[in-house]
Structure 1
Amino acid sequence: MLKRIVQGCFLLIGGTLGVFLLDDLLKLTSLNDVALINNSYTTAIVGAIIFFLLTFWAVGYVVNFVKWLEDTLMNLPAIEIIFGSIGLMLGLLLAFLFGLPISMVEIPVFDTLIPILLSLFLGYMGFQVGIKKREEIISLFTIQSRQKKKSVEEEADVPSTSFKILDTSVIIDGRIADICQTGFLDGVIVIPQFVLEELQHIADSSDALKRNRGRRGLDILNRIQKELPIEVQIYEGDFEDIQEVDSKLVKLAKIMQGIVVTNDFNLNKVCDLQGVQVLNINDLANAVKPVVLPGEEMHVQVIKDGKEHNQGIAYLDDGTMIVVEEGKNYIGRYIDVLVTSVLQTSAGRMIFAKPKLLEKAL
């Protein structure tokens, strides 16, 4: 059966080549003018006869080749056949693209034979490249897939909720409740259990001032938890190997990828050194204070004397200290002062000024 199929294929190939090639060959001879010979039917029959005669010699080799090819393909993994077929199709596509300009060159035999040879060569090369380079092609797509998956995982690792971890000082300070009420602080408020224990110890202190501060802190937490529209979580865990509460806060912030909220200047510095995000209430307070520039005039009341000679101390409504040079003589009085300089730090802001009367006298 296979032998008959091969012979039939040879007849078709011979007839096709006879139509395309014999016509060009006849143009090179004197038989080109003979109408009986120089027509498509005659050249097709001649080509088919020539190839049919070749089958008596070549059919055995072709049949053996087909059987060998069949056995080889059966033994090949499916992945190799797939990539080989893809390479074959790409090779034939390249052969077609390269063959288009060649077929336009009107040279007998050349414009027909070269595209055929080109198709055979590039088809074979495409098949071989597809098989032998399959691992590299697969790894290329695998790397891209892994990179995409990694980027998705990294995005998934980013916490969707922002955790704000309160320390003891900011709770006792009390301003955190007003900040939460205004909506400037979003996310989840986290109150560690060890911070609650420290507040409890302060509230149970024998010192009246500390006791009042501790109780105030507990009242602030109660207000945040019950009255304000913000989620509050109590972190029950503890770090028994760490003694300092500040160090526990830093470690907790690293674990939760949270932000420490404090007004402790030293804890602020520790968080910066440890690479932990921190929100300092004092920084926020300083940021929203009215800007005071040197040369501006202010009306203040000198409350007490300062540390240096003849200094007086006054305060703004927001608690900002004003050091009035030569202001000791004005204690208890309201006077106009001129700002000379402003000192801004995370611990607060300090304004230096001098009485306007002295400026006029000069």
Structure 2
Amino acid sequence: MVIGLFIANLLLRGAPFVDLFDNPRTSFTLYLLTYSLLAYISLEVGLKKGDEFDLVHSLISKQRRDREKIVDTSVIIDGRIADVCETGFIEGTLVIPQFVLHELQLVADSSDSLKRTRGRRGLDILKRIQNQAKVEIEITEKDFPRIKDVDAKLVALAKKRDAQILTNDFNLNKVADLQGVDVLNLNQLAEALKPLVLPGEALDVMVSKEGKEAMQGVAYLDDGTMVVIDNGRSLVGETATVIVTSVLQTTAGRMIFAKRKNGSQKTANQA
């Protein structure tokens, strides 16, 4: 709109005939109409261009969200990719090169029983992923005959398609990183999601209430995780050191089971 007013001002300054009208009202009306018309046109153009910009921005954002992910043999045989796909965390298209399928078939046909089992498991995992509605699968025939190494083929394909590589192969991860290819490593994801505590670790917790079962006590970590303490009912209202016996992870969250440390009721600083 500001641009429209600026243009109107330039036009009227360059139009001395406006001042020739005998009636000042006529001159004023002409000024007003010119300013209003050009301001309106400028506003409409600005809104239209703004909508186009928003459309382009949304398309670019969607393209980034839906970026292709090229799958390697190791992540297929591993099997966890099927579970991750079922959760809906994987967006975009999973691209499976024909040379990866060929490598997987060679493993499934191996004379070694262990390799053969792993290869057939990989084929079953692929079928499971294909039957899911939450992810799209593309089998590509694109190959690089001059490149013999499968990992190098994957990197070349990812570069050509501006795609990410989905793997749990440490060496492939390193090679891809060195060549500027983005990698999604399932092992790194699993490491990030591992329990903060493991069986055998000691925790200092405030036992806040009795548990549902006989003689149980219940405490909570800072993040809200429930700690169920076997034989901990007598510790209610006290801070005690407990030993983690197991960690239960469910879709609703995490629960820690623990026992009293050496029968002690309180931590050392309270003794």
TM-score by length of structure 1 reads 0.40
Q: Shift of the alpha carbon at 1:297? A: 2.0
Question: Which residue pairs with 1:231 in the alignment?
Answer: 136
CA apart distance, 1:186? 1.4
Bigger RCO (CA 8 Å, 6+ sep) = 2
Distance verdict in 2 for CA 1:231–1:88, change over 3 Å? closer
| Match in the other structure for 1:210 | 115
Alignment counterpart, residue 192 of structure 1, candidates 97, 100, 104: 97
Matched, 1:273 2:191: no
Rate the CA distance shift 1:201–1:156 in 2: closer, same or farther, 3 A: same
Q: Give 1:198 deviation, angstroms.
A: 0.3
Structure richer in helix, relative to its length: 1
The equivalences for 1:230-269 within 5 A come to 230-269=135-174
Q: 1:222 to 1:88 in 2, by over 3 A?
A: closer
Q: Map residues 1-362 of structure 1 onto 2, 5 A cutoff.
A: 90-91=13-14, 159=63, 161-292=66-197, 296-297=201-202
2:188 is paired with a residue of what secondary structure?
helix
Structure 1 residues 290 and 87: CA distance shift in structure 2, 3 A: closer
Q: How many equivalent pairs are there?
A: 165
Structure 1 distance, partners of 2:152, 2:10, is: 62
- The superposition leaves residues 135-167 of structure 1 with CA deviations (integer Å, 9 ceiling, x where unpaired) of xxxxxxxxxx9xx99xx69x7698463211110
Which of the two has greater strand per residue? Answer: 2
Q: Deviation at 1:227?
A: 4.2
* Cα distance between partner residues in 1 of 2:123 and 2:178: 30
Superposed displacement of residue 196, structure 1: 0.1
Higher alpha-carbon Rg? 1
Q: Which amino acid in the other structure matches residue 125 of structure 2?
A: I
Q: Is the CA contact (8 Å cut-off) linking 1:200 and 1:214 kept in structure 2?
A: yes
User: Whole-Å Cα distance in 2 between the matches of residues 290 and 173 of structure 1?
Assistant: 20
The Cα shift of 1:172 comes to 0.5
State the identity %. 58
In the alignment, the residues of structure 1 paired with residue 158 and residue 149 of structure 2 have an alpha-carbon distance, to the nearest angstrom, of 14
TM-score by length of 2: 0.52
Q: Cα gap change, 1:263/1:156 in structure 2, threshold over 3 Å: closer, same or farther?
A: closer
Partner SS for 1:234 = strand
Question: How far 1:201 sits from its partner (Å)?
Answer: 0.8
Distance across 2 between alignment mates of 1:163 and 1:179: 16
Deviation at 1:337, TM superposition (A): 7.7
CA–CA separation in structure 2 for the residues paired with 1:172 and 1:264: 11
**Equivalent in the alignment of 2:35:** none
Ranges in structure 2 where 5+ consecutive residues have no aligned partner: 1-8, 20-48, 204-241, 245-260, 263-271
Aligned residue in 1 for 2:23: none
- Paired residues of 1:180 and 1:228 also in contact (CA < 8 A): no
Distance 1:185-1:158 versus aligned 2 partners, 3 A rule: closer
Residues 105-157 of structure 1: per-residue CA shift (max 9 Å, x gap)? xxxxxxxxxxxxxxxxxxxxxxxxxxxxxxxxxxxxxxxx9xx99xx69x769
**RMSD of aligned residue pairs (Cα, Å):** 3.6
Please state whether the residue corresponding to 1:170 is helix, strand or coil.
Answer: helix
CA distance in 1, matches of 2:128, 2:10: 72
Unaligned runs of 5+ in 1: 1-85, 97-144, 299-335, 339-355, 358-362
Displacement over 3 Å in runs of 4+:
86-93, 155-161
- How far apart in 1 are the matches of 2:153 and 2:63? 21
Tell me, in whole angstroms, the C-alpha distance in 1 between the residues paired with 2:175 and 2:62: 24
Deviation at 1:90, TM superposition (A): 3.8
